[in-house]
Structure 1
Amino acid sequence: MSTEAPSTEQIRAFVVSALGAMNYDTTGVDDDTLLGPAGADLESLSLAELGVRVEEEFGVRFDDDEAELLGTMTVGEFGAAVAARIGSASAAGH
């Protein structure tokens, strides 16, 4: 079993794939695309669903109040935040 953490690129690819699976148009989605309004246009429930999908895939946790903050992040910022959580969990031995 590999203990190597996924790269930010792998996380971003998963996020874009998850958006597609959630029936969002991912045409043109890149690191600079906002997850919320004026970007991928995810609403609160969809942001929560994306958070759950990422939690299940990468073993990280988001607090309920963080779901709203996801809408203010770009895909790149979200990927970096997930990578940082994975790194923190790895450093803590989880």
Structure 2
Amino acid sequence: ALEDLAVSKNFSLQRILYIGNDVNDFNAMINCGYSACPADSHPKIKEVATFNLNTNGGMGIVREILEDLLKQDIMTILFEENN
């Protein structure tokens, strides 16, 4: 399904950042160019993830990815760019 979506959008899997936390995410994570997992992920997922996050799932992993990995200011993205 992920590969079909990438093809339909003319997007390379190597340019996708996939976020997963359990064994059902394994294949997608190894097929994408980048992957990230929350701190409370399954050990096998932590082994294959490009980025092991410090935040547990549901506790702000998107913020950690934007601010810490991508060095984006979430407040600017949410408030200043829309005004």
Is TM-score (shorter-chain normalized) higher than 0.5?
no
Q: Which has the higher contact order (CA 8 A, sep 6+)?
A: 1
More strand by share: 2
Name the one with the larger helix percent: 1
TM-score (norm 1): 0.25
TM-score (norm 2): 0.26
